[in-house]
Each structure stands twice: as structure tokens, then as C-alpha cells.
Amino acid sequence: MTTVSTPHAMPTCPPASIRRTTTGTRAAAMAMSRVAGLMLKYSAPAQWEGRESEKANHLMTRTARRLDVAADALQFGLAYLDEYCDTLAGLRSRHEKLASDHRTRVSAATELRARLAEADGEGTGSLEREIASHNEAVASLDSKCRDWMRDLSEAEDALVSQLQRADTVAEGRTIGDEAPSPTALRERALAAHAHGPAAVHRWWKSLDRDERELLKTAYPGLIGAMNGIPIIDRHETNLSNLQRMNAELREAAKHGGLTADEERLRKNIRGVERGLRVDTGTDVSPFLMLFDPAAEGGDGHAAIAFGNPETAEHVTVNVPGVNNDMRGFDSVAATAAQIQIKGSSGGRSVASIAWLGYDTPTGSDLGNMTNETEARKGAKTLTDFVAGLQATHRGHPAHMTVIGHSYGSTTVAKAGSGGMRVDDIVLVGSPGAGSGNTHASDLHARHQVHVGSSDDDFVSRLGNRGSLGLGNDPAHMDFGARRFAVENSGDFSWSPVGLKEGLDNHTGYFKKDSSSLESIVKISVGESGSVAQVPSRENYTNYGWWTREILESTTNTPGMISKQIAGIFDGR
């Protein structure tokens, strides 16, 4: 009698969330290393002498060394825990395929049994062959499942065996004695950094897993920000560092409250955490590529990638402008997420990065928006960041677009003329393309420089020829960029309503479902040919526009006279 085989039950796969264990463990090791270092540094004041001083010094030194032993043990375990998680990632991928095959075989078994029951014994040769083929597939599936379970068991046994090597104080001390010198590794890191992101990437790949873990734990600020280090290592380092800082701030709040600097730090961290939780409506996991909440006098540095820029076919870097700091980083992240969501429609491979790696003019520094000081500094760090993305990308080079808004567009333009090499550059709401940049070709985009500029965006009217402003207006016809259509919220004027309309025009380029956002997305995925263009500005400078707006706001000045005066500045 013919028997239809049914595959064995699918084995259970460990959850993906197990990697969170490494994040928490690394955060604990970071905290231990930091506390040990502080205890050794401040073990006894130089002016404190006598027996009590010796006791205190001895006690703090002993405690610091014990903390170091514990941190060394955790670092040792982390290397193998991280390896286990990598192995699980491969096993999880295999499990998904096995589960899909299992569902297919169970469904096929049900169908074949029904057909076999209905058969009258005649003309069943074809059915018999189908059943035989099915049974072979079931046997193969069961064998693959056994192999999978064996590999999982071996990975778990290997992890337990390694962790047991560091579960006593004596073993932890031995591990610490045999571990490479953190200081020596840091020197090698800085030497590689001096030669650029490509050199950093080669150096990092040459390290053993335990050397990488030691660096991530001992120097999280350095490793988490170093361009050329793979994104998963930067993400893990920065996320663990975030957890450590949060834990320390919670403890500080319990014992006397937070200082003004600590409160600012807490707000910066909250801004990043909200950015990591931005709803993409997909299963795309964000990567924390940069995390330094104390940078720039407390304004902070951060970068979050939606999608993996190391494997994506299209990569965008989004650079914000005035009044953006780490406290409100979630709004910068939301813009990048929108580009990733819309760009990925239709199955495209897109990664979009929110980058705040420079000091945007904010608060007491708002006056810097009238000069290029921060744009020049930001251009250098942006160039290095982009070079890091290019050094770590796997496979065929990605189509890369860098998008700058407001003062961020000046920063992007300065980066383009200063050494950054990308495929497309997008400047929106630009107050100027930076001194020395007289034409789009100065920005060295491999494909094209694109401009989005509302005629009633007063910030975009700041660009002028000559020494005033932040360089030439990239929306002007002489600049040679491709200008795409944008919406106008309303007409700018010197009334409260008109000022609001002008501000809305300046901030609305990334508004959800807007034509400007749609154009930016098309450019980002290499479809700029389908972007609707509008004529560039033809007036010699923007002085005429400002003169007209000022004169028309004066009720005693007839409109015709104001237009004639404005025409003089327009070069007509």
C-alpha cells in the first residue's frame, strides 16, 4: 500500500532579539572599564598623606583591578557571544527556507492523500510517481532539519564552553593578562584613521574578534564614530554606549539630581532614541552610525541609517541646516526615513541616512548662519563620512546622493568642491552654494546638481554674487544646476502671515506626499530623468527681490515705482 510521508515537526529557532544580550553586556563592560579608569586616576589626592591615604588608595586600586578583571571577562565572553549571534543569523536564514519547504510538503501531503483516497486503483501510475517524489523530498527535508539542529547544538555548546573559560576570578585575571593592550590597539586605530576610511576598513578587517570587542568596550566614542568601520560594529558600539550613559544618568538622578550639562545630555539621548523609533511601516531596522551627545558644546552629533548602506543599491545622506541639534534629531531622522520608505517602493534597495555630524547654527550660535565657518568644518566631516560609506560598501558601488537643506546645503556644496565625490547632489532651500562655487561643476557631482527652491522662500533669496551672503544662488541660471518644481505654501511678505508663509515654504520641501519630496526620491534612486523641471532664476542677483519686497511693504511706495527700483538691482 502506498504511504504519503509527512515531514517531522519544524524545530524552534532562537529569537532574533538574543543579540540584545550583547548590547547590554557590552554596556556593562564599558561601565566597568570607565569606573576602573576613574578609580585609578583619582585613587588618592596628591596632598593627602598618611595611613588613611594609603588605605584609601589601596582599596580603590584593588577595586579598580577587580573591575578590570570583570570587564576583561565580559569582553572575552562578548567576542564569542557575538560570534554565536552571527552564526544564529545564518541559521535563522536557513530556518526560514526550511520552514517554507515544510509548509509546502505538509500541504502536498494533504493533497496527495485526498487524491489517493479518491483513486480507484486504476491509472494511478502517475500519482504513485508523484508520491514517491514527494516522499524523497520529505526525507531530504527531514535530513536538512537534523543538520540544522546539529549545527545549532554545536554553536550553543561552543558558546557555553568558551564562557566557562571566564567564569571565575582567576580565569578572568588570566584572560586579562593574555589580552592585547588596549592602548596599543588605540594607537593602531589612530594610525589607520590618519590614512582615511579605506585604511581604517582594512585595519579593522585584520583584527581578531576579541581585539575588536576590546576596542568597542574600551573606546566606544572613538570606534562608534570612526568612518571605515563596518556599520554593525559602529551600531553595536553606539547602542551599548547609549545604554551605559542612560544607566549612569538614571543613577545620578536618584542621588542628588542632574546638573544642567547632564540634563542636556539626557535630552540629546532622548532625541536619538525617538529617532531610532521612527515608524517606517516596514521591518527595516535602523543603525546608529554616530552617537556623541556631548559634542559641539552639548549640541551633539548623531547619525541614523534606515536600511543598510553597505548593501543598498541607492544610498542617500541627508544634511540638515539651521536650528537642528540632537534634542530634535527625531525630525531629521523622520525625513531620512520618508526617503527610504518611498524610495524602496517597487522593491528598490535603498538606505537613507540622517546625518548631524557638524555644528548647525542654533541658539546662541545662530549668528553663524550668516557665515561659512560651520559649513567649512562640516564639509570636512561630511566628506570623511561619505568616504567611509564608500569604503565599507559591498558589491557594486552604490548610487549615492547627498541632500542638503538650508544651511546644510551650503555645507554639502562646500564638501562637493572640497573633495566629496558622489553621484548626485541635491540643494533645497539653499542660502548659497558657498564662496568660490560659481557653477554646478565646481561641486564635482558625477551626474548632476539638483536644486529645489521656492521663489517665496526668503532663505533661498540670500544667495548672491559678490561678498554678501553664503555664495551664489544655486537656483540661478548661471549656476547650471537642474531646478525641480516645488510647492508654494503662500506669498512671502513683511506681515505676520506673509512671514509665516515664507517660513513654511522654507521648511516644506520634505513634506509628506509633496511633489518636492517625490522629486528628491526620484533623484535618490537614479530616476532624475523623470523629474519635472522649472526654469532657473534669471535675475542677476536676489537684491532686486529683496528691494521689491521691502518697498512693497511700505504703503507710501507705489507698486510701479518699487518694480522699477527693483529692476535696477535685477540688472534690467
Give pLDDT tens digits for 404-424. Answer: 999 999 999 999 999 999 999
Reported as half-sphere exposure (CB side, CA atoms, 13 A), residue 144 has a value of 18
Given the C-alpha cell 562640516, which residue does it identify? 378
Residue 314 host element (H or E): strand 314-319
Output b/e per residue, 3-32; b: 16+ Cβ within 10 A: ebbbbeebeebeeeeebeebbebbbbbbbb
Q: What is the pLDDT of residue 47?
A: 61
Distances (CA, A) of 296 to 145, 217, 258, 358: 54, 23, 20, 8
Q: What is the pLDDT of residue 40?
A: 60
CB 479 within 8 A of CB 473: yes
Q: Residue 555 pLDDT > 60, yes or no?
A: no
Q: Residue 558 pLDDT > 60, yes or no?
A: no
Q: Residue 571 pLDDT > 50, yes or no?
A: no
Q: Residue 570 pLDDT > 70, yes or no?
A: no
Stronger pLDDT, 187 or 496, i.e. the higher one: 187
Q: Which of 186-200, 219-233, 279-293 is least confident?
A: 279-293
Res. 513 pLDDT band, cuts 50 70 90: confident
Given the C-alpha cell 517524489, which residue does it identify? 133
User: What sign results for the dihedral spanned by CA atoms 351, 356, 362, 368?
Assistant: negative
3-state secondary structure 14-35: CCHHHHHHHHHHHHHHHHHHHH
Q: What is the pLDDT of residue 171?
A: 66
Give pLDDT tens digits for 441-466. Answer: 999 999 999 999 998 888 888 887 75
Q: What is the pLDDT of residue 163?
A: 76
**In the chain, what percentage of residues exceed pLDDT 90?**
54
H-assigned helices in 219-316: 220-225, 231-254, 260-276, 295-298
Phi then psi for 289, rounded to 5 degrees? Answer: -90, -20
Total residue length of the chain: 572
Q: What is the pLDDT of residue 568?
A: 39
CB 47 within 8 A of CB 181: no
Q: Residue 127 pLDDT > 80, yes or no?
A: yes
Give pLDDT tens digits for 10-67. Answer: 988 888 777 777 888 787 777 777 766 666 665 655 565 666 555 555 555 666 566 6
Residue 195 is given by DSSP the state T
Stronger pLDDT, 119 or 442, i.e. the higher one: 442
Q: What is the pLDDT of residue 121?
A: 60
The set of residues, in sequence order, having a beta carbon less than 8 Å from that of 201 and lying 6+ positions away, is 228, 229, 230, 388, 391, 392
Distances (CA, A) of 366 to 322, 376, 557: 8, 16, 33
Distances (CA, A) of 320 to 224, 254, 335, 353: 21, 36, 10, 11
Q: Which residues pair with 427 in a beta bridge?
A: 404, 451
* For range 491-519, the mean pLDDT: 87
Give pLDDT tens digits for 302-350. Answer: 999 999 999 999 999 999 998 889 999 999 999 999 999 999 988 899 9
d(CA 351, CA 338) in angstroms, rounded, equals: 11
Query: By C-alpha distance, which of 526, 396, 416 is closest to 479?
Result: 416
Q: Residue 549 pLDDT > 50, yes or no?
A: yes
Mean pLDDT of the chain: 86
Q: What is the pLDDT of residue 242?
A: 95
Q: What is the pLDDT of residue 561?
A: 45
